[in-house]
Amino acid sequence: MLPTIEWKDDHIIMIDQRKLPEEEIYHKLRTFEAVAEAIEEMIIRGAPAIGIAAAMGIALGYKKLGKDDEEMFLKICKRLSETRPTAKNLFWAIDRMKNLYLSLKNKSFEEKKVALINEALKIEKEDIEMNKKMGEFGSSLIEDGDTILTHCNAGALATGGFGTALGIIRAAHFSGKKIRVFADETRPFLQGARLTTWELVKEGIETYLISDNMAGFFMKKGEITKIVVGADRIVSNGDIANKIGTYSVAVLAKENKIPFYVAAPYSTFDLSLERGDEIPIEERKKEEVYLINGKRIAPEGVKIKNPAFDITPNELISAIITEKGIIYPPYRENIKKIMGEKE
């Protein structure tokens, strides 16, 4: 299994996803502040992975307090919740840690500390198990000979391990189906070029890297037979937020009559929101767009926009694959049926 993040008792280790594939550098993070900065700077990224990182950051931060301090505990949770706004998994994991802590009012510092560490580890373990389940359900939709296009990185690196969209691709591959993958490079942060291809090539899956603007060309030629992507947030009506560019892929898929699948665990669902346009979209640093490898590609003075995610409306989605099963339209009704009773 590829390393994403590891709890080491007095620190957390994570691979620096900004440096891949050239360098495999691991950081030892010793404070919750360092974990918060790692999420902001995208040393770790991907919706489930940042949820796990936040949970471990809370456990680490609390442990380092050395004594019980509810005010400080809540400050740690707040700091971690301010790192990135779009992925539901981050807030889901923080709420889970907070609810556990608040349910242990009469316990000692030692007991609370152990409970918080165990909870963070449980969140990580459950995430891997959910990905494997999703892989089983999702690979039933993949046929021998399929060429699957994916966008961004929804792999082991974006999760506790195995991956959501890439988990489905892995499961199909392990079951002996001959598949090929087209990975969109995913400008501007290049998660597809740097991370998805790194994972898939290691796995021995035939993988083609294309720049984002090539996707339509290959769809029109009939070379792409399925599309599988992850999600950062899925709301009640089935609209999803995922990496910027996902919406364009979904529109092209519809035009070319190619099934467009979204894979995500229940921690990505936000049933408090009705529609996709209510999801907060992160705006990231301008440098990510105008610098490539530290080199300027646009003149001084040009204005830049850098939304990190977009919304794909439910009518463009063929099915949502979860660890509880595959959800088909009508989404509002069927999401409620599968996810409604979860918490």
Our CB check for ligand MRU shows the closer of 139 and 164 to be: 164
Q: How far apart are CA 124 and CA 119, in angstroms?
A: 9
Furthest-apart CA pair in the chain: how many Å? 65
Instruction: Please state, in angstroms and as integers, the Cα–Cα distance from residue 205 to each residue in 148, 169, 176, 263, 295, following that order.
Output: 11, 9, 11, 19, 32
Q: Does 133 bind ligand MRU (CB under 6 A)?
A: no
Q: What is the DSSP string of 13-25?
A: EEE-TTTTTT---
Q: Does 242 bind ligand MRU (CB under 6 A)?
A: yes
Among 58, 148, 152, 327, binds ligand MRU (CB under 6 A): 152
Min CB(92)–ligand MRU separation in Å: 13
Decide if 232 is catalytic: yes
Our CB check for ligand MRU shows the closer of 186 and 314 to be: 186
Min CB(150)–ligand MRU separation in Å: 9
Min CB(71)–ligand MRU separation in Å: 30
Q: Does 250 bind ligand MRU (CB under 6 A)?
A: no
Among 47, 76, 80, 156, binds ligand MRU (CB under 6 A): 47
Site for ligand MRU in 189-218 (CB under 6 A): 191
Min CB(5)–ligand MRU separation in Å: 13
The tokens 């610098």 sit on which residue? 291
Residues across the chain: 343
Our CB check for ligand MRU shows the closer of 73 and 135 to be: 135
Q: Does 276 bind ligand MRU (CB under 6 A)?
A: no
Q: Could you tell me the two tokens for 307?
A: 């939304």
Q: Could you tell me the two tokens for 124?
A: 């990580």
Dihedral sign, CA of 191, 195, 201, 205?
A: negative
Q: Does 135 bind ligand MRU (CB under 6 A)?
A: no
DSSP-based three-state secondary structure for 250? helix
Q: Does 159 bind ligand MRU (CB under 6 A)?
A: yes
Q: Could you tell me the two tokens for 301?
A: 């003075």
Who contacts 150 (Cβ-Cβ below 8 Å, separation ≥6)?
A: 165, 166, 169, 181, 182, 183, 184, 192, 196, 227, 228, 229
Per-residue binding letters, 2-41, with ligand MRU (x by CB under 6 A): ----------------------------------------
Helix/strand/coil percent split, the chain, to 5: 45, 15, 40
Among 100, 158, 235, 339, binds ligand MRU (CB under 6 A): 158
Show the CA angle centred on residue 50, arms to residues 46 and 53, nearest 5°: 140
Our CB check for ligand MRU shows the closer of 87 and 100 to be: 87
Q: Which residue is nearest to ligand MRU (CB)?
A: 230
Who contacts 300 (Cβ-Cβ below 8 Å, separation ≥6)?
A: none
Our CB check for ligand MRU shows the closer of 48 and 161 to be: 48
Min CB(48)–ligand MRU separation in Å: 5
Q: Does 90 bind ligand MRU (CB under 6 A)?
A: no
Spell out a b/e string for 10-34, using b for 16 or more CB atoms within 10 Å of the CB, else e.
Answer: ebbebbbbbebeeeeeebebeebeb
Among 4, 20, 46, 247, binds ligand MRU (CB under 6 A): 46
Residue from 232, 239, 270, 310 carrying the catalytic annotation: 232
Q: Which residues bind ligand MRU (CB under 6 A)?
A: 45-48, 87, 152, 154, 158-159, 164, 191, 230-232, 242-243, 308
What are the residue numbers of the active site?
A: 232
